[in-house]
Amino acid sequence: MENFDAANNIQDLQYFGEFGGVNPSISDSSTYTFLSAKTMFDTFEGKTEGCYLYSRHSTPSNLYLSQALAQMEGTESANVTASGMGAITSTLFQLCKAGDHIISSRTIYGGTYAFMKNFLHDYNIKTSFVDITDLSAVENAITENTKVLFCETVSNPLLEIADLFELAKLAKKHNLQLVVDNTFSPLSISPQILGADITIHSLTKFINGSSDAVAGVVCASAQFINDLKDVNSGACMLLGPTLDSFRAASILKNLRTLHIRMKKHSENAQYLAEQFENDGLAVKYPGLKSHKQHELFKSMMNPEYGFGGLLTLDVQTMKRANELMELMQKENLGYLAVSLGFYKTLFSCSGSSTSSEIPEAEQKEMGLSEGLIRMSIGLDHDIKRTYGKMKWCMQQVGILS
């Protein structure tokens, strides 16, 4: 583990363009020619390494990005998809058949929750949602049909931390696949190194970082990635969540600055969280000693990248939350928008937006208050100035005196 350096791994890859360009050429083709009919047949059978068949299967540009992300997560292989949900749904369909069972953290991205609760449920793949921080609750939920243990490293939006090392032990003991959505903590946490079987990202967020594209990735063993792309039974090949080559190329270029951006997101979020806490606000951030799993996060993290760019602020009522967010947007401190990982701070009220798929009663039970603002802290050059202006906004709406 000491020798694993995700950022070095990305940078050690070298791709040249067709004419010696410093960026790899973009493959602008949906289909590929073969010199002999025999090679085409063998490629269909999966017997020819490095041959391209049809771009839903793979493209050179998608393979470059996939390889860089596999290097980042320390997996043998990876497959990029047209969205984070494309990565999650393909993975779960590949791992589970009718009658199988999933154990999932109850605090996960709203889309993932809805997919398991409503969609997979109707295909007779049932999910038990548990408090992932309670390891005995996780173990007690295991049945003979359980195939998958699913969680987010840092949960959305409550910022609970999954103990990946212990969850991996449980998964091994009961022969389950530990699938981890690492969207909130790229580079700072490497789930595979801690024992996860499959690591997923929505590339839409920090990894691309410019809020101009939607994409995802599954990082796993070569065997599992081949299974996903199998022409007869692969969920990626047959459901078709294929990423466009132009997007793959643009995301690869942004990936190269991820290490610099993550440091700045974390530095800014840590500063704001500390100030908000001093002001007596109900702030949650894994980098605060007051966060329940601060020590756990520390034990798993690569310290260079800090505790991530997400913090939450609970201002109790939706009315106050809305007033604050509208004023902060007016003052150009950030945008009232869902998503995360942009250069600009983004804020939204989770209960009524990205977690609205979760019924109100369940939101309450898990501690998701209607006044909970999730903030993805931006790359602000002068975070002290930003803090001063945010404080002024909070005074205007009566959250601070």
Ligand X SMILES: *Cc1c(COP(=O)(O)O)cnc(C)c1O
Please select the residue that binds ligand X; options are 94, 199, 204, 250, rule is CB under 6 A: 204
Cα distances from 344 to residues 212, 310, 335, 369, in angstroms, run 13, 13, 7, 25
Q: Of 154 and 397, which has the nearer Cβ to ligand X?
A: 154
Q: By Cβ distance, which residue is nearest to ligand X?
A: 84
Is the CB of residue 217 less than 8 Å from the CB of residue 203?
A: yes
Q: How far is the CB of 18 from ligand X (least distance, A)?
A: 30
- Positions 143 through 172 that interact with ligand X (CB under 6 A): 152, 156
Cα distances from 111 to residues 115, 312, 354, in angstroms, run 6, 20, 8
Q: Of 217 and 301, which has the nearer Cβ to ligand X?
A: 217
Query: Which among 280, 311, 316 has a CA at the least distance from the CA of 374?
Result: 311
- Positions 173 through 192 that interact with ligand X (CB under 6 A): 181, 183-184
Q: Of 43 and 153, which has the nearer Cβ to ligand X?
A: 153
Neighbours of 36 (CB within 10 A): 8
Neighbours of 97 (CB within 10 A): 11
Please select the residue that binds ligand X; options are 77, 202, 242, 350, rule is CB under 6 A: 202
Q: Of 83 and 386, which has the nearer Cβ to ligand X?
A: 83
Q: How far is the CB of 87 from ligand X (least distance, A)?
A: 8
247 burial type by CB count under 10 A (0-12 exposed, 13-18 middle, 19+ buried): buried
Please select the residue that binds ligand X; options are 74, 157, 216, 241, rule is CB under 6 A: 216
Q: Of 305 and 387, which has the nearer Cβ to ligand X?
A: 305
Binding-site size, ligand X (CB under 6 A): 16
Residue by residue, DSSP assigns 201-229 as EETTTTTT-SSS---EEEEE-HHHHHHHH
Residue by residue, DSSP assigns 87-152 as HHHHHHHHH--TT-EEEEESSS-HHHHHIIIIIIHHTT-EEEEE-TT-HHHHHHT--TTEEEEEEE
Q: How far is the CB of 203 from ligand X (least distance, A)?
A: 7
Q: How far is the CB of 91 from ligand X (least distance, A)?
A: 12
Q: How far is the CB of 258 from ligand X (least distance, A)?
A: 16
**Cα radius of gyration (the chain):** 21
Query: Which among 113, 321, 88 has a CA at the least distance from the CA of 204?
Result: 88
- Positions 266 through 285 that interact with ligand X (CB under 6 A): none
Q: What is the dihedral of CA 95, 101, 105, 109, to 10 degrees?
A: 60
- Positions 63 through 122 that interact with ligand X (CB under 6 A): 83-85, 109, 111-112
Q: What is the dihedral of CA 175, 241, 208, 111, to 10 degrees?
A: -70
Q: Of 84 and 186, which has the nearer Cβ to ligand X?
A: 84
Query: Which among 37, 67, 32 has a CA at the least distance from the CA of 52?
Result: 32
Q: Of 156 and 192, which has the nearer Cβ to ligand X?
A: 156
Judged by CB under 6 A, the stretch of 96-104, 126-134, 199-207, 282-290 that binds ligand X is 199-207
Q: How far is the CB of 1 from ligand X (least distance, A)?
A: 24
Q: How far is the CB of 214 from ligand X (least distance, A)?
A: 5
Q: Of 125 and 217, which has the nearer Cβ to ligand X?
A: 217
Binding site for ligand X (CB under 6 A): 83-85, 109, 111-112, 152, 156, 181, 183-184, 202, 204-205, 214, 216
